[in-house]
Structure formats: C-alpha cells, structure tokens
Amino acid sequence: MSDRAIKGPGLFSRMIGAILPSRRSRSGTPVSAPIVPAQSIAGKSLMIVIAIMSFLACLTLGAVTLVRDASLGWQADIVREITIQVRPVDDIDTNAEAQKAATIAASMPGVAQARVLEDWENAKLLEPWLGSGLDVSDLPIPHLIVVELADPDAVDLIALASRLDKEVKGASLDDHRNWTDRLKTMANATVIIGVSILGLVFVATVLSVVFATRGAMASNRDIVSVLHYVGAEANFIAREFQRHFLFLGLKGGLLGASGAAVLFAVLSFFIGRSIATPEGDQVSALFGRFAIGPTGYLGALVIALLIGVMTAITSRLTVYRHLASIE
C-alpha cells in the first residue's frame, strides 16, 4: 500500500451525494477522508444482500398488485353483465316471450342494452357438447337474453326479477351473483395470501438486512473503539456509521427495486406484443396487460427507501450496543 491516491466518486455516489449532506467544507476544499471507509468487502456483501432482498420484496409486491388488479377487473367485467333465461313452455311462443323479456330489461334504469341471442349464437354455445351443424330450432332449448348494464349500482335486480316472473312465462334471471361472490372470495383470498407472503418476504428482508448490517459492522468495531477512546460522543459515532450505512442501504435497495421494475416493464412489453397470440390472450385474460401501474412502481421505490432507512437504524443501534459493551 502506498500514500493515498486520489480517486473520484462513481456516478451513483455523485447522484446520492447531491441529496445527502456534503462532506466538503464551506470554502469548497475537500475535507479529510470519511472516518468509516466507503469501500470495504463487508460493505459490498451487505449491498448485494440488500439488493437481492429488495428485488424479491419488490417482485412480491408487483405480483400482489397484479393479482389484486386482475381480480378487480374480473369482478367489474362480470358485474356489468346479467343473463335472462326463457325456458320453453307448452303452447307459448318462446320467441315472443324472449323479446318481451328483452324489452322489459331494456326499460329498466341503469341498463345499457338487452339482446336476445340468435339461434346460431345458441348453437355455438352448445357446439362443444352437441357438435357443429346443429339446428337448434328443433330442440326445446331456452332462449338467452344478454343484458349489459351501464351502471350496475343503479339497476334494481329484485324489481326486474319480479317483473319478469309476473310478465314473462318461463323467465328466470341469472345475475351471476353466486359466481361473482365465489370469484370475489377467491380473489380476496388470493390477495390476502399475496399480502401475507409480502409480509413474510418483508420480515425476511428486515432480518437479512439486520444480520448483514451487524456482520458488516463487526469489521468496523475497531473504528468504534478508537472513536470511543479519543472522546467522541456516542451520537457522533452513531451518525458517522448511520450516514455510511444509509448510503449503502439506499444504493442496494434502489438497485434491487430498479431490477424488479425493469423486469416488470420488460414482461409487460413482451406480453403486450403477444396479445394477439393464443398464449398472450390467455395471460391477458388472467392478468390484463401484466402492467403493475404507477402504484406498483411507487411501492418499489418506498420499499427501497424503507430498506435504506432500516439499514441506517440497524447500524446506529449496533454502534450503541457495541459502545455499551466496552463502557
């Protein structure tokens, strides 16, 4: 080793340096080297651990956001459509009854339109069970009326069911409520499981960061001791380490969060491109455009900042613990 060589800070250090308090004196001349060395093997290992844990926490957050948005999307789509079924009844013109049901439905407030499915549409629905080329006019199958709702909250489904019951023979209303309720329960359960996993990942992140920070601090115990013996206040020592570890934590946290954000952006881009293919359609049917949205990206940023702060606090507490052990 020789006398100290002057080495300029990296790009990231300069960016963070613009936010954190400057180490230069007011006159602009550089002050002494930091008491806690910026470059150390323990510091690098800690940064890698933080980056990985931050990446995993952000991925989990993204996945939970995705599932939650998808489940809300499914619910909104289903709630916007109801079906009226008109079963064939002896001596009654089912077609006329179906038209009557459609007219009643269309007259209800909050309904956008009501349409009786054509025979060929019914045939297409039955095709998987009865095969193609079927003439449904010979079969006693119910007529279906698809009712699209403009405002699901404004529609009085009970009143509609009661009118259909009174005025249309063989009519019944299926508002998909059972299915929607089940879907809602499933989606909520998925989100709760996702949030629990996010909680566990976050706890694991906290613990890894705490242990890795303690490990990195172990190599700096001599510095703490020397500062203690030369009469430094506990606050001064803690501040020196806190600044260093906040920088390290932010660097690692932002690296991990950026990695996760880039991964989501890339996935969103490719899934957006393959939307016309069968595989793409399947994925988009489940997860929409696979985009985590601004909330997801903001969440990733919050996680990175939280990890930075947590690293700084852990280093501060470790300094106090070490000082207590040598006093």
Partner 1 sequence: MIRFENVGLRYGMGAEVLRDLSFQIAPKSFQFLTGPSGAGKSTLLRLLCLSLKPTRGLITVFDRDVVTLPKEDLPSLRRRVGVVFQDFRLLDHLTTFENVALPLRVLGREESSYRADVIELLKWVGLGDRVQALPPILSGGEKQRAAIARALIGQPEILLADEPTGNVDPPLAKRLLRLFVELNRLGTSVVIATHDIGLMNQFDARRLVLHEGRLSIYE
Q: Which residues bind partner 1 (CB under 8 A)?
A: 1-4, 25, 27, 29, 31-33, 35, 37, 222-223, 225-234, 236, 326-327
Shortest distance in whole angstroms from residue 219 CB to partner 1: 12
Q: Which of 107, 192, 89, 197 is nearest to 143 (CA)?
A: 89
Residue number, 138 or 222, with CB nearest to partner 1: 222
Residue by residue, DSSP assigns 80-105 as: TEEEEEE---TTS-HHHHHHHHHHHH
Shortest distance in whole angstroms from residue 34 CB to partner 1: 8
Residue number, 90 or 222, with CB nearest to partner 1: 222
Shortest distance in whole angstroms from residue 217 CB to partner 1: 15
Tokens of residue 45, six digits = 């290992």
Cα angle value 149/69/285 (rounded, 5°): 70
Shortest distance in whole angstroms from residue 247 CB to partner 1: 16
Residue number, 1 or 11, with CB nearest to partner 1: 1
Shortest distance in whole angstroms from residue 39 CB to partner 1: 9
What CA–CA distance (Å, rounded) separates 251 from 19? 13
Is residue 172 helix, strand or coil?
strand
Could you tell me how far CA 95 lies from the centroid of its own chain? 48
Residue number, 99 or 225, with CB nearest to partner 1: 225
Shortest distance in whole angstroms from residue 209 CB to partner 1: 24
Residue number, 60 or 318, with CB nearest to partner 1: 318
Q: Which residue in the block uniquely carries the two structure tokens 């000082």?
A: 323
DSSP E strands, the chain? 81-86, 111-116, 143-149, 171-174
CB atoms within 10 A of CB 317: 16
Residue number, 25 or 132, with CB nearest to partner 1: 25
What CA–CA distance (Å, rounded) separates 223 from 235? 14
